[in-house]
Amino acid sequence: MAQLSGRRIVEMVKEDLKISKILTKEAFENSIKVNAAIGGSTNFIIHLLAIAGRVGVNLDLKEFDTLGSKIPLLVNLMPSGPYLMEDFFDAGGLPVVINEMKKHLHHNVITVNGKSLLDNNDGAECYNEEVIAKLEKPFMEEAGIAVLYGNLCENGAVIKPSAATPELMSHTGTAVVFETIEEFLQTVDNPDLEIDENSVMVLKGVGPVGYPGMAEVGNMDLPEKLLKKGIKDMVRISDGRMSGTAFGTVVLHVSPESSVGGLLALVESGDRIILDVPNRKLHLDVDEVELQKRKAAWRPPTPPVDRGYTSLYTKHVQQSHLGADLDFLVGKSSADVTRDAH
């Protein structure tokens, strides 16, 4: 496959089939819809925004909601269902999903083999409808990513409804704050921790700048004492990411992050937080005078490393709603070769 890919790249040069002809706005919109249909990871948002930024395509975080949140769930995979990736492959895989989704997709997008996306997947056969559903009989009517806004996430935050608990999608609770991932690990299972199933777990300092690198720790394991009570899910909020295989009512990618002074930095244990996914809102219910007082007292955390690549990264990384890419890599490059290199 590597050799065939190399050969195809050479053919693409001869055909003048540039990446700019493949990575079009329509292609990005198709990917958002297909990701929703498969119940894909929230990590997809970060990657796609970064890729769009590098090729000069204007892609906004809101579009992951407007284009994808009403798409039906066609793939019965963890964490949205019981099956595994190998079952998806055996059932026919992504070609089947794309073929089912064709009425929702742009038909004119060209792929690297020179054919359209739909031509490549036309007539794909499904071998197991318990794993891949028909469009008219999906596993869930609406399954894409929901993008939240509010004073707690001025530039946006995301949640994956297909992996969340329906009863928690509209929830008001008091915050239990962990300032760092180290504090979380040290205290979450402390039997004296003041927390119950109605609390909202808040983790700070795990965003692009804060960790640094936006670690996959946003899913936050539940406290041991609540697990023993049979509690399986709670509302959790962070400026970090989580694994695509994790489940739960987890709000991620809060932007701006706490380490650069986003409102998340000002949340204290006991504050009331309102999550309203149907209306796409995430709100910290604290008086504005009190917030201004906290903001005046807030100081940015000391960077763990202030030299080398880590320093370069933290000074130039963008926030999650822009793809967490380095700002100097954003923008479409020219195809011109200005100087011979040999």
The string of pLDDT tens digits covering residues 161-219 is 888 999 999 999 999 999 999 999 999 999 999 999 999 999 999 999 999 999 999 98
24 in any annotated domain: yes
Reduce the DSSP state of residue 159 to 3 states and report it.
strand
Contact criterion met (CB below 8 Å) for 243 and 267:
no
Exposure string of 216-232, with b = 16+ CB inside 10 Å and e = fewer, is: bbbbbebbebbeeeeee
Q: Are residues 48 and 166 in the same domain?
A: no
> Which tokens hold the place of 121?
């997947």
Of 121, 155, 186, the position where a domain reaches its end is 121
pTM, two decimal places: 0.92
Q: Are residues 55 and 183 in the same domain?
A: no
184 in any annotated domain: yes
314 in any annotated domain: no
- pLDDT recorded at residue 289: 97
Q: Does residue 79 register a pLDDT over 90?
A: no
In single-letter form, the type of residue at position 270 comes to G
54 in any annotated domain: yes
Of 278, 297, 316, the position where a domain reaches its end is 297
Question: 56 — phi, psi (to 5°)?
Answer: 80, 25
106 in any annotated domain: yes
| Distance from chain centroid for Cα 97 | 21
| Distance from chain centroid for Cα 247 | 13
- Structural domain count of the chain: 2
Check residues 108 and 338 and name the one with the higher pLDDT. Answer: 108
Contact criterion met (CB below 8 Å) for 202 and 177:
yes
Could you confirm whether 162 is annotated as catalytic?
A: no
pLDDT digits (tens, 9 = 90+) for 231-254: 999 999 999 999 877 789 999 999
207 in any annotated domain: yes
Q: Are residues 95 and 167 in the same domain?
A: no
Residue 95: partners with Cβ closer than 8 Å, 6 or more residues away: 120, 121, 124
Integer CA distances (angstroms), 287 to 41, 239, 266, 283, 294, in order? 35, 22, 12, 12, 11
Q: Are residues 166 and 270 in the same domain?
A: yes
Domain span holding position 16: 2-121
Q: Are residues 166 and 69 in the same domain?
A: no
CATH code: domain of residue 255:
3.50.30.80
Catalytic residue among 31, 69, 80, 243: 243
Residue 166: partners with Cβ closer than 8 Å, 6 or more residues away: none
Q: Are residues 164 and 211 in the same domain?
A: yes
> Which tokens hold the place of 140?
């869930």
Q: Are residues 62 and 158 in the same domain?
A: no
| Beta strand pairing call for 153-159 and 146-150 | antiparallel
Average pLDDT in the chain? 94
340 in any annotated domain: no
Q: Are residues 178 and 272 in the same domain?
A: yes
Q: Are residues 43 and 167 in the same domain?
A: no
Q: Are residues 164 and 286 in the same domain?
A: yes
| Beta strand pairing call for 250-255 and 235-238 | parallel
Q: Are residues 164 and 204 in the same domain?
A: yes
Q: Are residues 183 and 293 in the same domain?
A: yes
